[in-house]
Amino acid sequence: MKEDKYCPNCGRKLSFFYMKQNCPDCGVDILRFNAEARLQQDAAQAEKEVEALWRFLRKLDKARLIEKYCRRKGRPLPWEDDPAGNE
């Protein structure tokens, strides 16, 4: 199967048989450019995952704080109905 290759930097169409490492137009190192782009993507993805996990942990933490507060005050948890109905 034949696939067109393009310079990842300037978008110049490269011959399928173009095997040199540098773009003939802009001279960018094609292999390295691709590798770096992938690394940046990975890093961005990892950052997103860490952020999502962090938000989740913060939510848990808040839930626990609310639980503690309610227990200390003898109040029902916000997500439970108050069986006695007392204020």
Binding site for Zn ion (CB under 5 A): 7, 9-10, 12, 23, 25-26
Q: Cβ(6)–Cβ(13) under 8 Å? A: yes
Nearer to Zn ion, 9 or 76 (CB): 9
Comparing CA positions, the residue from 29, 28, 25 lying closest to residue 12 is 25
User: Rounded to 5 degrees, what are φ and ψ at 75?
Assistant: -105, 155
CB of 39 to Zn ion, least distance (A): 19
Name the residue nearer to Zn ion (CB basis): 11 or 78.
Answer: 11
Name the residue nearer to Zn ion (CB basis): 20 or 71.
20
Q: Tell me the C-alpha distance between 59 and 51, whole Å.
A: 12
Query: Rounded distance, CA 84 to CA 76, Å?
Result: 10
Instruction: Report in angstroms how near the CB of residue 38 gets to Zn ion at its nearest.
Output: 18
The distance of closest approach from Cβ of residue 29 to Zn ion in the complex, given in angstroms and rounded to an integer, is: 10
